[in-house]
């Protein structure tokens, strides 16, 4: 049982609710040790007279609170509309629509997962995966059964056919800035790489870079993924593309799937994992595990504890890639979670001897 309970010292609910607080404490005690939350969310069962900036107001019908709801959101509060096996979180200009079971203790579970440091949309996913009495289970009380997790509503249709499979364990996965780097690293014997070229301009140069990557992948029988530039990758006959969460709303996923192009999708938590699964990708990337300077991240680092949770939930469902701040020093700890692949950037591109660095990184996968 956790030794870091912080619920007793916090204003969890408005109005104060002893039974809910007791239930939240009971659930929280079975979820294990997590870093203390930096956002002390308060769950409001009725709207408070004064919003504190970290309020989540629970209502049954948004239409009955239209003007009030707009006021709450402008003031920085979140609103959870929950009724009839549905829960929608309105927060920060986003709308997170979930469909699934609402246990009697779902609000208490929500408070417990918020206290574990999960962002509201991820905590809400976990609260809907919760079942009354889970805290009495003899083993791990944390939700691990994917069939009990909610569905995401309002997403674009997934392609009629699932994306082509890739190896279940992709191993070392360098993410590289140029075709020259791709050719170099594939020549070291690496079987999975990604070209992440930040600019699409000039277009002719981008096409030449992608063509070089496709050619070397075929020459060495390696899986070469192209980041973001899916149209050019499709035209070049690339093995795969890697896209971010926002790209699934604009990319022609049906064209990619029908062409046999593999798809990797980035995720940063439970909600985005469910969104990625909806599109039946070839693999899912989980990150950022550690702080990284290679790109601006939308979320705080996930850490090893969360990574282990994602792996336990998804092992055998879809190939997984850990990404973000991974180097040789932390790679053994990353692999200890059971993840089958780890993406690296600076551990290769900033190494004094890239060939030796690649050899050492690959060796870690055999230990």
> Does the annotation list 367 as a binding residue?
no
Contacts of 165-170 with CB under 8 Å at 24 or more apart are 165/262, 165/282, 166/223, 166/240, 166/262, 166/282, 166/283, 166/319, 167/192, 167/223, 167/319, 168/319, 168/340, 169/319, 169/340, 169/341, 170/223, 170/283, 170/319, 170/321, 170/340, 170/341
> Does the annotation list 171 as a binding residue?
no
> Does the annotation list 217 as a binding residue?
no
> Does the annotation list 346 as a binding residue?
no
CA atoms within 13 A on the CB side of 224: 33
Query: Strands of 42-44's sheet, edge to edge?
Result: 13-14, 42-44, 55-59, 78-83, 86-91, 94-99, 151-152
Distance between CA 210 and CA 207 in Å, rounded? 5
> Does the annotation list 178 as a binding residue?
no
> Does the annotation list 292 as a binding residue?
yes
Backbone phi and psi for residue 345, each to the nearest 5 degrees, phi listed first = -125, -80
> Does the annotation list 366 as a binding residue?
no
> Does the annotation list 294 as a binding residue?
yes
Residue pair 127/110 in contact by the 8 Å Cβ criterion: yes
> Does the annotation list 299 as a binding residue?
no
> Does the annotation list 97 as a binding residue?
no
Identify which of 356, 347, 298, 303 has the alpha carbon closest to the alpha carbon of residue 327.
347
> Does the annotation list 295 as a binding residue?
yes
> Does the annotation list 195 as a binding residue?
yes
**Binding site residue list:** 194-198, 227-228, 247, 266, 292-295, 325
Q: Which residues are annotated as a binding site for Mg(2+)?
A: 228, 247
């Amino acid at each position: 049982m956790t030794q870091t309970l912080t619920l007793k010292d916090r204003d969890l609910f408005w109005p104060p609710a002893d039974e809910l607080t007791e239930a939240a404490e009971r659930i929280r005690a079975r979820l294990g040790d997590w870093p203390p939350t930096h956002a002390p969310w308060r769950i409001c069962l009725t709207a408070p007279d004064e919003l504190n900036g970290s309020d989540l107001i629970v209502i049954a019908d948004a239409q009955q609170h239209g003007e009030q709801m707009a006021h709450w959101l402008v003031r920085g509060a979140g609103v959870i509309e929950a009724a009839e096996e549905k829960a929608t979180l309105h927060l920060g200009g986003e709308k997170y629509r979930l469909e699934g079971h609402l246990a009697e203790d779902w609000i208490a579970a929500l408070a417990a997962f918020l206290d574990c440091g999960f962002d509201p949309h991820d905590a809400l996913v976990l609260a809907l995966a919760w079942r009354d009495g889970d805290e009495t289970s003899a083993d791990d009380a944390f939700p691990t059964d994917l069939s009990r997790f909610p569905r995401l509503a309002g997403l674009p249709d997934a392609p009629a056919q699932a994306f082509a499979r890739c190896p279940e364990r992709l191993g070392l996965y360098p993410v590289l800035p140029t075709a020259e780097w791709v050719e170099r690293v594939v020549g070291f014997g690496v079987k999975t790489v990604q070209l992440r070229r930040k600019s699409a301009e000039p277009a002719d140069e981008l096409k030449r870079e992608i063509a070089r990557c496709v050619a070397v992948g075929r020459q060495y029988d390696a899986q070469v993924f192209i980041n973001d530039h899916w149209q050019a990758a499709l035209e070049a006959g690339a093995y795969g593309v890697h896209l971010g969460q926002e790209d699934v709303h604009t990319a022609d996923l049906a064209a990619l799937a029908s062409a046999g192009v593999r798809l990797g999708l980035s995720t940063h938590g439970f909600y985005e994992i469910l969104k990625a699964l909806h599109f039946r990708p070839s693999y899912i990337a989980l990150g950022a595990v550690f702080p990284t300077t290679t790109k601006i991240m939308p979320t705080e680092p996930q850490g090893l504890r969360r990574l282990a949770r994602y792996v336990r939930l998804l092992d055998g469902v879809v190939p997984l890639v850990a990404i973000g701040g991974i180097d040789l020093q932390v790679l053994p700890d990353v692999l200890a979670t059971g993840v089958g692949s780890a993406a690296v950037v600076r551990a290769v591109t900033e190494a004094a001897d890239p060939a030796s660095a690649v050899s050492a990184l690959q060796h870690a996968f055999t230990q």
